[in-house]
């Protein structure tokens, strides 16, 4: 939040060019869908942010629109809550270490990806020439006109569970976390009594399960540290243990 507000201040004072803040402000805030308890917690954060803004001498009309600053800050926090991406690295601590999440990023160009429970697009956060970047890649060939979908959650933990063992559990989890009822192609099949193992097997292809590793296969060019020596562009590699997918 502080970075977003700092960006806004820099854009207002002209010390930073561009209109990144406008793109963030244009995101939906889904405020009406948050529970009173969540809004109360946002309100406490907004109070702290107001103190910060006073301390740095931010103008009273820092945020656009007619809302008083406190309400506008709650609205900004709501935008962050429902539109941000986790920023993570695979720290290579060995099998089962999982990804290290070390922050959140608002990427206005990327929020238009809808969720699919069998996504056809994956993503990694990497440093590209010293600049933090979010990279997206196709998980399989896409048909012309096919919607590109990412997954908002860890769908499979390598033990067949992930966010839910059944389609009902999965949809309930998504609704609790992201305030929507998933109606993706996989959910429709499984809600209609279709075999839930079909989607699970497809997801398992994206995970390295060798020797208990649960790293994710990524295109070789997106391996941590770049494409490993000896691998081709079309190869896929586990970002945890470096194993090539066969």
Decide whether 24 or 174 has the Cβ nearer to Zn ion.
Answer: 174
Decide whether 76 or 207 has the Cβ nearer to Zn ion.
Answer: 207
- Confirm if 203 and 216 have CB atoms less than 8 A apart: no
* DSSP per residue, 135-164: EEEESSPPPTTPPPEE-SS----SSS-TT-
Q: Cα(85)–Cα(105) distance, rounded to whole angstroms?
A: 5
Decide whether 187 or 206 has the Cβ nearer to Zn ion.
Answer: 187
* Least distance to Zn ion, CB of residue 87, Å: 21
Decide whether 61 or 147 has the Cβ nearer to Zn ion.
Answer: 147
Q: Cα(63)–Cα(80) distance, rounded to whole angstroms?
A: 15
* Least distance to Zn ion, CB of residue 106, Å: 24
Q: Cα(193)–Cα(187) distance, rounded to whole angstroms?
A: 10
* Least distance to Zn ion, CB of residue 97, Å: 11
Residues near Zn ion (CB under 5 A):
117, 182, 184, 187, 208, 213, 215, 238, 240-241, 243
81 alpha-carbon distance from chain centroid:
11
Q: Cα(83)–Cα(111) distance, rounded to whole angstroms?
A: 6
Decide whether 106 or 213 has the Cβ nearer to Zn ion.
Answer: 213
* Least distance to Zn ion, CB of residue 235, Å: 14
* Least distance to Zn ion, CB of residue 241, Å: 3
- Confirm if 217 and 204 have CB atoms less than 8 A apart: no
Decide whether 213 or 220 has the Cβ nearer to Zn ion.
Answer: 213
Q: Cα(69)–Cα(50) distance, rounded to whole angstroms?
A: 8
- CB-facing half-sphere around the CA of 50: CA atoms within 13 A: 15
187 alpha-carbon distance from chain centroid:
20
* Least distance to Zn ion, CB of residue 242, Å: 7
């Amino acid at each position: 939040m502080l970075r977003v507000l700092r960006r806004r201040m820099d854009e207002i004072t002209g010390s930073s060019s561009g209109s990144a803040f406008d793109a963030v402000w244009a995101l939906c805030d889904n405020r009406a869908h948050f529970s009173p308890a969540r809004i109360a917690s946002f309100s406490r954060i907004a109070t702290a942010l107001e103190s910060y803004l006073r301390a740095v001498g931010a103008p009273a009309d820092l945020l656009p629109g007619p809302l008083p600053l406190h309400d506008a800050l709650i609205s900004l926090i709501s935008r962050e809550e429902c539109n941000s991406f986790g920023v993570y690295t695979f720290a290579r601590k060995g099998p089962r270490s999982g990804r290290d999440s070390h922050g959140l990023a608002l990427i206005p160009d990327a929020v238009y990806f809808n969720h699919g429970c069998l996504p056809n697009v994956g993503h990694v956060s990497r440093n590209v020439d010293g600049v933090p970047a979010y990279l997206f890649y196709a998980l399989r060939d896409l048909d012309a006109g096919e919607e590109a979908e990412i997954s908002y959650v860890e769908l499979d933990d390598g033990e067949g569970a992930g966010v839910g063992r059944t389609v009902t559990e999965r949809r309930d989890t998504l609704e609790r976390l992201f305030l929507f009822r998933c109606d993706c192609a996989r959910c429709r099949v499984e809600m209609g009594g279709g075999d839930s193992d079909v989607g699970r097997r497809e997801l398992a292809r994206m995970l390295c399960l060798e020797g208990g590793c649960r790293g994710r296969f990524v295109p070789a060019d997106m391996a941590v540290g770049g494409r490993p020596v000896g691998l081709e562009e079309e190869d896929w590699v586990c970002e945890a243990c470096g194993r090539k997918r066969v």
